[in-house]
Amino acid sequence: MTSVKMFREESIEDVIDGYSYERIESISKFLLDRTKQRPEIGIICGTGMGGLADMLEDKEIFPYKDIPDFPVSTVPGHSGRLVFGNLNGKSIICMQGRFHVYEGYSVWKCAMPVRVMKLIGVKTLIVTNAAGGLNRNFTVGDIMFIKDHINFPGFGGDNPLRGRNDDRWGPRFPPMSNAYDLGLRQLARTVAKELNLEKYLQEGVYCMLGGPSYETVSEMMALTLLGADAVGMSTAHEVIAARHCGIRVFGMSLITNICVMEHDSEKPLANHEEVMETGNRRRKDLEKLVTGIIMKLDTV
């Protein structure tokens, strides 16, 4: 009896009343009152990819801890700052550090900043992440444009849209086909070609798991059978929240490690230091790619 009551209380307070439209509106107002920037482009930096925020000019930085009602980042490789700034004259808002379910946050809370972005005026979201490569054709350092995702936590009902739906965000049952905008992917391919990055380019399906443990060999094999090309611990919930409120999305994974799919293998397994190191090593190409895409966004 007690556990049922606990579950109900939690879901009413947090999911229904906790981050109401008005509460998220007050977070966005807090920010808009303190910056003249009115960005239509948002970026979420993956592990080790905080350099994407550092490249902005005329930065205005809001540490998460100073934003009322905002969660804080607890993971190495995620600075925990909301950065406003310009990139070749375009106004950008960038999450230099995201929230993960394994940090203890509910999945809707991890996705909540996307709704803040929506109320700030964001129309296009660029999501990046570090991921393990399941596809045997992938190598460390490859950049995978995400064409679709498998939201594994969602299979069990852990979806950021769980709870009462507020139609001001979007419909109760939003479609998720074409979640990763085809036009943006084509644009990104053109930009990558111009930058001579084609040799690193992959396109595929990203699978989100809850983490923080990396996958067992059998889990990796199962994900491969499901059609996943890369596996990580983020992104899907952010994209669902973005699509629900009408933000178009471009997503890319940096393949930071290759998943070893042999039982009893001596090969080194995934570790967070390697993930961050690959992010740092490939940072310049990622920055060039994101800059190139942003410069041409008006064309699609």
Ligand X SMILES: Nc1nc2[nH]cnc2c(=O)[nH]1
Widest distance between CA atoms in the chain: 62
Shortest separation between residue 264's beta carbon and ligand X, angstroms:
19
For ligand X, which residue has the nearest CB?
A: 132
Q: Which amino acid is at 210?
A: G
- Match 């053109």 to its residue by tokens: 190
List CB contacts of 279: < 8 A, sequence separation 6 or more: 46, 47, 48, 49, 77, 130, 254, 256
184 binds, among ligand LQZ7MJT6, ligand X, none (CB under 5 to 8 A by kind): none
- Match 């925020």 to its residue by tokens: 53
Shortest separation between residue 108's beta carbon and ligand LQZ7MJT6, angstroms:
17
CA separation for the pair 190, 147 (Å, rounded): 16
Residues in the site for ligand X, rule: CB under 6 A?
Answer: 130-132, 209, 211, 214-215, 231-233, 256-257, 259, 270, 275
Main-chain dihedrals φ then ψ at residue 187, nearest 5 degrees: -60, -45
299 neighbors 187 (Cβ within 8 angstroms): yes
Nearer to ligand LQZ7MJT6, 43 or 275 (CB): 275
257 binds, among ligand X, ligand LQZ7MJT6, none (CB under 5 to 8 A by kind): ligand X
98 binds, among ligand X, ligand LQZ7MJT6, none (CB under 5 to 8 A by kind): ligand LQZ7MJT6
181 binds, among ligand LQZ7MJT6, ligand X, none (CB under 5 to 8 A by kind): none
Nearer to ligand X, 187 or 259 (CB): 259
46 binds, among ligand X, ligand LQZ7MJT6, none (CB under 5 to 8 A by kind): ligand LQZ7MJT6
CA separation for the pair 295, 288 (Å, rounded): 11
Residues in the site for ligand LQZ7MJT6, rule: CB under 6 A?
Answer: 46-47, 75, 98, 100, 129-130, 211, 232-234, 272, 275
Residue in 148, 75, 107, 99 with CA at minimum distance from that of residue 237: 107
